[in-house]
Amino acid sequence: MKVAVVGVTGMVGKIMLKVFEEEGLNISQLIPVASSKSIGREISYNGEQFTVMSMEAALKSRPDIALFSAGGETSIKWAPKFAELGTVVIDNSSAWRMDPSKKLIVPEINGNELDIEDKIIANPNCSTIQLVLVLKPLNDKYRVRRVVLSTYQSVTGTGVKAVRQMENERNNIDGERAYPYPIDQNCIPQCDVFMENGYTKEEMKLTNETKKILDPNISVTATAVRIPVIGGHSESVNIEFETEFDIDEVKKLLSEMSGITISDDPHNNVYPMPITAEGKNDVFVGRIRRDETQPKTLNLWIVSDNLRKGAATNAVQIAKNVSRFI
C-alpha cells in the first residue's frame, strides 16, 4: 500500500507518521509531501530516511491513499487530481466537510458508511470529533435534543506559529504573532474568524458537523475559547435529552464506547485535563453529573489531544478502514 502524507513536516503531519508507526500499518511505500520550502528535506519513518517531494511528484507516484493536512486551498486544488487517479484522499481541512457528496467520518461512529466509491473523505474538526464520540452512545439511548458547550482550545489547534507566540511571550521575546492579543496568561474568546451571525467559524463547525455526523435534529450552540495550553482541547458540555436518563447508565454507555476513557472520581480529584490527555489517542470524559436546574439534562467535561484523535489519529483510522478496499 502506497501512502502519501501531504503536509508531512507540519504539526499534524508529523503525528500522522507517529500514529502509522504505532498502528503498524503495512505501508510498502511512504510518499512524504510538503510545500516548496521543505522539498528535499529528509524525514525519518520506521527507522528509514525519506526525501520530501513536491505535489506533482507525489501525483506521479499514484499513491493508494493520500492523507492531506496542508490547508483548505491545497485540498481544493489537489484532492480532486489525486482522486481522479483512484487515490483515496483523507482530508484534514474544512474544504470538503460540508459538501453533501462527501462523507464526514469518525470511524467509531460512521466508518461502516465508507465504500469503494469514496475517493475524497473528510476528517471532522478536532473539537467536533471529541464531542460527537461522546454524544453518539447517549444519542442512541436517550436522543439528544440540545447541546450547549464551551471549548477551551490548545494553541496547537492554530499551529506552530501560535505555539511560538506563546513560548516567546513566556520568555519575554518579541516575535511574530498568530493572535491579535497575547495568549500567555490570557484567554481569547475567538477561534477562527467571526461570521455575520456573531459566531466564529469554529463555533459553526461544531454546530454543522455534529448535525451531519449524528443527527440534523440536534441543536448545538457553542462558544470557542483559545487558552494557553499545549496538550489538547477541553469542552464543558451541557446535553438536554428527549428522555430521562440514569447517571450510572450514562457512565456504562460511555465506558463501552470505543475510543472513550472515563476519568471521573471527583472526590479524589480525578478528572480529564489536557496535561494528561496529551500524546494519547482516546477521548477522556469526566465531571459527569446531572444538571439540577432542569430535567433530562446532563453536564460533563471532555478532553482530547487535538493533534491525535482530533486530527492525525482519526485520519489514520479512516485510512485503516479504507485499506480493505485496496
Report the chain (326 residues): mean pLDDT per 10 consecutive residues: 96 96 88 92 92 96 97 96 97 97 98 96 98 98 98 97 97 96 98 98 98 98 98 97 98 98 98 97 98 98 98 97 91
Residues of the chain with CATH 3.30.360.10: 127-306
| pTM exceeds 0.85 | yes
Q: Which pLDDT score is estimated for 26?
A: 82
Q: Which pLDDT score is estimated for 23?
A: 86
Look up 267 and say whether it is catalytic.
no
Q: Which pLDDT score is estimated for 326?
A: 86
Residues of the chain with CATH 3.40.50.720: 2-124+311-325
Which among 187, 191, 233, 267 is annotated as catalytic? Answer: 233
Q: Which pLDDT score is estimated for 25?
A: 81
CATH topology classification for 127-306: Dihydrodipicolinate Reductase; domain 2 (3.30.360)
**261/281 Cα distance (integer angstroms):** 10
Look up 191 and say whether it is catalytic.
no
Q: Which pLDDT score is estimated for 36?
A: 87
3-state SS of the chain is CEEEEECCCCHHHHHHHHHHHHHCCCCCEEEEECCHHHCCCEEEECCEEEECECHHHHHHHCCCEEEECCCHHHHHHHHHHHHHCCCEEEECCCCCCCCCCCEECCHHHHHHHCCCCCCEEECCCHHHHHHHHHHHHHHHHHCEEEEEEEEEECHHHCCHHHHHHHHHHHCCCCCCCCCCCCCCCCCECCCCCECCCCCEHHHHHHHHHHHHHCCCCCEEEEEEEECCCCCCEEEEEEEEECCCCCHHHHHHHHHCCCCEEECCEHHHCECCCHHHHCCCCCEEEEEEEECCCCCCEEEEEEEECCCHHHHHHHHHHHHHHHHHHC
Tell whether domain 2-124+311-325 is in CATH 2.40.400.10: no
Q: Which pLDDT score is estimated for 272?
A: 98
